[in-house]
Every structure is written in C-alpha cells, then in structure tokens.
Amino acid sequence: MAPPLRLSLLQLRQKINFRLMRMVVVVLYMAVTATVLLYHFHSSGLPLEELVVGEEGAEVPRGEGFVVVGGQPEDFRRNGFQDPGVPETVRQFEALVVDGAGEGGGAVHLSPEEQAGLPAIEKVWAFNKIAGDKVSLWRKLNDIRSSQCKGLQQDSDLPKASVVIIFNNECLSSLLRTVWSVLDRTPKQLLHEVVLVDDASNNTDITTLLPLYIQTRLPPKVGLVRTPSQLGLIQARLAGARAATGDFIVFLDSHCEATKGWLEPMAQRMKEDPTVVQIPRIDMIDSSSLSYYGSGGGSVSVGGFTWSGHFTWESLPAAAAASRRPTDPAKTATMAGGLFAIDRQFFWKVGGYDEGMTGWGGENLELSFRVWRCGGSMEIHPCSHVGHIFRSFHPYFIPHDSHGINTARMAEVWMDDYKRFFYMHRQDLVGSKDIGDLTERRALVDRLQCKSFKWFLDTVYPHKFIMDEQSVAWGRLRANNGAKKVCIDHLQRDMAHKLTGYDLGEYPCHPFLGSSQYFVVSKVGELRNEYMCGEVSNTRDNNKPKTKVRMAACNQKNQNQRWELTPLGRIRHLASDTCLDMGEGEAGQEVTLAPCGEARGQVWTFDFYEEGKDHWRPQLP
Ligand SMILES: [Mn+2]
C-alpha cells in the first residue's frame, strides 16, 4: 500500500476511535446520572419508617423505681388511631399537629398572628414551641448518612440499650418526638427500654399529661421515673442509670430526634470493646424553624477543652484525619456530654457520675478525663446521627455557679497539678468550702489504678498547649517606659475557645497571675496565650497608620506569628523586624510595634523563665 493511503487510513481509524470513546463517555455519564437519580428518589421517597414497637407485646424486664410504664403493647397508629379509651387532654395535645408540618426535616411556617406571639413563647421555652407542637411526633427525616455508612455491616447479636432521657419542664412535644424517634428508628431487638426521668417538673403537661400519654399511647418498654425534688442534670441522670437494666445506657437530651441507623454502629463498637464510650454525630435542629440540618460526609469534629474548664469543638488532627476511613469512629479527648452511649457495667465500674456534683455542667469533662485515665476511651461515630435542638439558654433553674463548682471538683480529682491552670481562671474557688467532700472520688483514682493527667495530655491530647512547660518565658508581661508601668492584657476581648480575633492591649498589672494577663513566648516562637497567637496587623486609627498585635487562632505555618524573645528583654516580630512597644502606656490602650531600638518601653519582663534563662530577666525600674 502506498504510504499516503496508509496514513489516511490510520487517521480515519483514529477518528473512529475518538468518536467511539466519546460515545462511551456519554453512555457512562447517562448511566451514572440515572443511578444517582434513582438512588435519590429511593432514599427520599421512603415510606413511613417501619413501626417496630407494636410487635413487642409482653412486658420487658425492668429495674426499680418506675411510677408509670407504657400501657399499649399494640402500636395505636396501626389501627388508624382508633382508641376510645384515650383521655380528651391527650387528644387535644395530639390535635396541635398540623399535617405535613416539618416533614422530611423541613421548616415550619407560622401565621402572622403566631409570629407575633413568638417572642413571649421563646422567652419561656428557649425555642419555637408553636412550631414544635405542629410537627408530627413521628415526622419522617431524610436519611442523610453517607453511602459508606449505609453499607456498614453489624453483627446480629448486638447488646441492648436503655435509653435514658432526663428533663425538667421540657416541652411535651419535643420530649415525645425524642421518644418516638427512638422507638421507631431502633431495631426492636436492640432497644431494651426507654427510661424517662422527670426531674421534679411542675408544668402540668409533664406532671399530668405525660403519664396519661404513656399509659394510653406508649409501649411497655417506656417507663417514667421521678426525682423527689429538682436535683439537676447529673443527679437525674444517675437516677435514670439506676433504673436502667439494659446492656448499655444511651443518654439523650429531651429535645432530640434519632435518625435511621443511629444506634447500630455504636452498639457494634461497644460489643467489640465495652470500655469505649460512643458519641453520635450531633446534627442541628433549628430552634426557630425545627429544620433538620446535617451532613453525612466530610470531616468529623472532635472534643477538646480549655483550661478554664469548658468543652470545645475542634477539627480532627491532620494525622488522624489522613489515616481514617469515612466509617471509622474518631477518637475524641472529651465530649459535649448531652448525647452518648456507655456500657452499663463499665459506667458503674468507672464511677458513674460524681454524686457531689449538683445542677448542671462540668460532668462532661469529668467523665471524659476519668474514662480515658481509668482504662477506657471515647469515640465519635460518624455513622450515627442524632438531631438536637440547640437552645439559646437553659429554660430551667440551675444553682448559682454549679458549672464552676462542679469543674473545681473535677480539677481537684482529675487534673493533678494542672489544676493550677483552672484556678488561674477561678482564683475565687481556691480552697472553697463550696466544692464539698472529695474523699470518695479521690479513692477512685487508686481503686481503678488510673493513669495520670500528664499521661492523658501526652497520649490523648498531645496538641494541648501547656503554657509553663512549652515556653521560653511566661506569666505577666510587664514594661515600664519611665512614666507608666503596664502589663499586656487581653482587655476581656478574649472569647476563649470561639477563637475570635482581637487586638492585644495593655492594663495596669494585676497583683496575681490571672488568665487575662497570662502570656508566653513559646519555644517554637509564638507570642501567645492558651489558644490565641499574636500576629502583626497594619491598620489605621483616626486616619493615621497604626501597627497592632492581632490575636488569632494559632497556626504554626503562619510566618506572621513568629517572634523571638531576646536576652535583653525585647520581643521581636521576625517578619517585620519590629519590636513590641508599650507606647504611652495608657490603661486599656492597644500595644504597638516600633523599629527595634533603645526605647525603655521595648524592654519586657516575664514572671517566669525556663531553666537556664533566668538571667534574661531585665531589671525594670
Ligand atoms: Mn440540649
């Protein structure tokens, strides 16, 4: 064959192949689209989820202390809601529901009149109760789990759950939606019981209507316990845990909605290891529209803490994030505390809750540190989704400073010497009688042979910044320009774990070392406090250029956050080659930077220096 002919034939063949390839791509694209569409219709068009409670029938074994138990072995929804024995008050409550409101996790819309009355309602309930009452107690939710999570397999013989729900004057519809979501979305062989704990409510919806509802609408595996007087979250949970007889306990807030497949992955993990506490992914139910917001994929947030004794959310450390599969539970140092599952025997073995804690708060960090230090661990399971209404305030009584006092109890028993950082924020609680007796809690540490808090920091939470261990110098940071003496101060602008940026200021030195004046130059070269690092920002003040120190979330890769402390007491910003300068030294002014020089206002002294650097402490006049 002549070469030109062969060439054109080759070209032709290439063209054909190209067309073929294009066709293949188009067909593939169509197939994928069709699959996605079909899949989408399939998951959003699910019929009402299987109603499992009616099949249960007979009594279940129960613990002590129930004042009312469910009286309906049959699911009343199966016979078209016909039931002549139901009291009128229950029917009136049920009649508040508006067909279709909030279905599929959507928003509820109010009429203009309802909208007008809303502020008064929200002041009492801390959420939109009008909308809440309209939503079906068994509204359908979309299955937002990732496809990997949907494909997760579990054993057939999983341990059984006691779901414990405590409340004080909870809105009845949110409470019962929590209960129905658990009944309808937990495989019946997994649900041992639902333990409701009324912590001495006085609202008749809870004192009168709830018991009637339980008797006439709920199955025997739902039981109600009452505390003799309002004991607070911790004591009420203990009452619920004492009544519980299942293999593991799931504590849920009383304004949640469990979603499809929420319990199985957590039960599986606890079957594999009864010492691992399981925490579901907490999705948001909007407190004004009752919309359900959640996402099945992406990153997992885990728990941290501040030295002031507060829980924080943070992103999973990069190394852990890189090595995990999307369905793997994520190790977490702490938990928010409202929603979690724990093996019942392990819960009691590890010390339950601290009986000396009252009211609300502090118990979540206490349990977190204790579990880790005494042979257990904690994980957030990315495949378990539970919705929660985040309310703007606590619509119930909390004794004064119970969070602070409970946290001091926790710090005394579980933070070893590191409690110094907590007391830096709460000088008023040092040696306080309010903390109460700790003998029994301290005995736990020996009895369970718990590891030290240092072990916890090193092993479980190694990225926590420890000011006096990881710094060149630390404490109050003072200067004296000859006219005025000042200390670096966050001027109450530090929003702690919210990591909101602010400009660093100056203030007369406090007589003690408190958190507002506790700063360090770290060994890696940051000018920082517990979680915020200084960087230089050039702005304008009254139209004049001004250089300030902006405090921002620490980021070791950010060159703007690099500083050095010199042996002569200057604090030099590397990138701009300027030095920290107190300027006029007016109380409440912002600290500035200036070309490094001999100015007295550029000589800074810390309270403490690392070993071998004590001679770096300049003598201030
Ligand atoms: Mn809550």
Express each pLDDT in 131-160 by its tens digit. 999 999 999 999 999 999 999 999 999 999
How many whole angstroms from 254 Cα to the centroid of ligand 1? 7
Tokens of residue 55, six digits: 């099949």
- CA 221 to mean position of chain CA atoms: 29
pLDDT of residue 526: 98
pLDDT of residue 230: 96
Residue 147 lies in a domain: yes
How many whole angstroms from 93 Cα to the centroid of ligand 1? 23
Cα–Cα distance measured from residue 492 to residue 521, given in angstroms and rounded to the nearest whole number: 20
pLDDT tens digits, one per residue of 416-437: 999 999 999 999 999 999 999 9
How many whole angstroms from 617 Cα to the centroid of ligand 1? 49
Residue pointed to by tokens 């009211």: 359
Q: 506 in helix, strand or coil?
A: strand
CB 159 within 8 A of CB 247: yes
How many whole angstroms from 338 Cα to the centroid of ligand 1? 6
Are residues 301 and 172 located together in one domain of the fold? yes
Task: Indicate the pLDDT class of residue 541, thresholds 50, 70 and 90.
Answer: confident
How many whole angstroms from 513 Cα to the centroid of ligand 1? 35
Tokens of residue 290, six digits: 């009752």
Task: Tell me which residue of 272, 197, 259 sits closest to 230, measured CA to CA.
Answer: 197
Q: Per-residue pLDDT averaged across 358-379, rounded?
A: 97
How many whole angstroms from 166 Cα to the centroid of ligand 1? 10
How many whole angstroms from 199 Cα to the centroid of ligand 1? 15
How many whole angstroms from 339 Cα to the centroid of ligand 1? 9
Kindly state the DSSP code that residue 435 receives in the 8-state scheme. G
Are residues 196 and 81 located together in one domain of the fold? yes
Q: Give the residue numbers spanning the domain of 568.
A: 471-616
How many whole angstroms from 390 Cα to the centroid of ligand 1? 6
pLDDT tens digits, one per residue of 261-314: 999 999 999 999 999 999 999 999 999 999 999 888 778 999 999 999 999 999
DSSP string, 314-362: EEPPHHHHHH--TTS-EE-SB--SSSEEEEHHHHHHTT-S-TT--BSSS
Are residues 343 and 480 located together in one domain of the fold? no
Q: Answer positive or negative: Cα dihedral of 229, 231, 232, 233.
A: negative
Structural domain total, the chain: 2
H helix count then E strand count, the chain: 17, 26
Residue 256 lies in a domain: yes
- Strands (DSSP E) contained in 464-562 are 471-480, 485-489, 502-503, 505-507, 519-522, 527-528, 532-541, 544-553
How many whole angstroms from 205 Cα to the centroid of ligand 1? 19
Spell out the residues 6+ positions from residue 592 whose beta carbon is closer than 8 angstroms to its own. 546, 547, 548, 549, 581, 582, 583
Q: pTM of this prediction?
A: 0.87
- Residue at which a domain ends, from 348, 374, 389: 389
User: Over pLDDT 70: what percentage of the chain?
Assistant: 93
- Strands (DSSP E) contained in 410-500 are 471-480, 485-489
Cα–Cα distance measured from residue 477 to residue 506, given in angstroms and rounded to the nearest whole number: 10
Residue 483 lies in a domain: yes
How many whole angstroms from 501 Cα to the centroid of ligand 1? 28
Q: 207 in helix, strand or coil?
A: helix
Q: 145 in helix, strand or coil?
A: coil
Q: In the predicted model, what is the mean pLDDT of the chain?
A: 91
CATH number at residue 338: 3.90.550.10
Are residues 385 and 476 located together in one domain of the fold? no
- CA 417 to mean position of chain CA atoms: 26
How many whole angstroms from 389 Cα to the centroid of ligand 1? 6
pLDDT at 621 > cutoff 90: no
Task: Tell me which residue of 494, 280, 286, 462 sits closest to 378, measured CA to CA.
Answer: 280
- Which range is least confidently modeled, 10-24, 355-369, 578-592? 10-24
How many whole angstroms from 340 Cα to the centroid of ligand 1? 12
How many whole angstroms from 581 Cα to the centroid of ligand 1? 46
How many whole angstroms from 333 Cα to the centroid of ligand 1? 20
How many whole angstroms from 136 Cα to the centroid of ligand 1? 20
How many whole angstroms from 39 Cα to the centroid of ligand 1? 33
Spell out the residues 6+ positions from residue 240 whose beta carbon is closer than 8 angstroms to its own. 164, 165, 166, 195, 197, 225, 249, 251
Task: Indicate the pLDDT class of residue 539, thresholds 50, 70 and 90.
Answer: confident
How many whole angstroms from 442 Cα to the centroid of ligand 1? 30
Are residues 378 and 521 located together in one domain of the fold? no
How many whole angstroms from 111 Cα to the centroid of ligand 1? 27
How many whole angstroms from 3 Cα to the centroid of ligand 1? 81
Residue pointed to by tokens 């690392």: 610
pLDDT of residue 169: 96
How many whole angstroms from 13 Cα to the centroid of ligand 1? 68
How many whole angstroms from 253 Cα to the centroid of ligand 1? 5
How many whole angstroms from 131 Cα to the centroid of ligand 1? 18
CB 173 within 8 A of CB 217: no
Residue 435 lies in a domain: no
Residue 203 lies in a domain: yes
pLDDT tens digits, one per residue of 5-55: 777 777 766 666 667 677 777 777 777 776 655 554 444 333 344 444 444
pLDDT tens digits, one per residue of 208-224: 999 999 999 999 999 99
User: Over pLDDT 90: what percentage of the chain?
Assistant: 80
Are residues 206 and 344 located together in one domain of the fold? yes
How many whole angstroms from 337 Cα to the centroid of ligand 1? 9
pLDDT of residue 52: 43
CB 529 within 8 A of CB 523: no
pLDDT tens digits, one per residue of 51-88: 444 444 455 668 889 999 999 998 989 877 777 789 99
Q: Per-residue pLDDT averaged across 513-537, rounded?
A: 95
Residue 45 lies in a domain: no
pLDDT of residue 51: 44
- Which range is least confidently modeled, 23-32, 234-243, 404-413, 484-493? 23-32
How many whole angstroms from 284 Cα to the centroid of ligand 1? 11
How many whole angstroms from 468 Cα to the centroid of ligand 1? 36
How many whole angstroms from 367 Cα to the centroid of ligand 1? 18
How many whole angstroms from 391 Cα to the centroid of ligand 1? 7
Are residues 489 and 383 located together in one domain of the fold? no
How many whole angstroms from 250 Cα to the centroid of ligand 1? 14
Are residues 384 and 518 located together in one domain of the fold? no
Are residues 78 and 209 located together in one domain of the fold? yes
Residue 97 lies in a domain: yes
How many whole angstroms from 30 Cα to the centroid of ligand 1? 45
Are residues 165 and 302 located together in one domain of the fold? yes
CB 471 within 8 A of CB 513: no
Residue 303 lies in a domain: yes
How many whole angstroms from 278 Cα to the centroid of ligand 1? 17
How many whole angstroms from 388 Cα to the centroid of ligand 1? 7
pLDDT of residue 498: 76
How many whole angstroms from 313 Cα to the centroid of ligand 1? 16
Are residues 237 and 98 located together in one domain of the fold? yes
CA distances from 218 to 69, 86, 181 (A): 8, 12, 12
Are residues 186 and 318 located together in one domain of the fold? yes
CB 395 within 8 A of CB 124: yes
How many whole angstroms from 137 Cα to the centroid of ligand 1? 18
CB 475 within 8 A of CB 513: yes
- Residue at which a domain ends, from 389, 422, 450: 389
CATH number at residue 503: 2.80.10.50
Task: Tell me which residue of 526, 237, 516 sits closest to 354, measured CA to CA.
Answer: 237
Cα–Cα distance measured from residue 274 to residue 194, given in angstroms and rounded to the nearest whole number: 20
- Residue at which a domain ends, from 345, 368, 389: 389
Tokens of residue 191, six digits: 């649900």
How many whole angstroms from 335 Cα to the centroid of ligand 1? 13
How many whole angstroms from 530 Cα to the centroid of ligand 1? 28
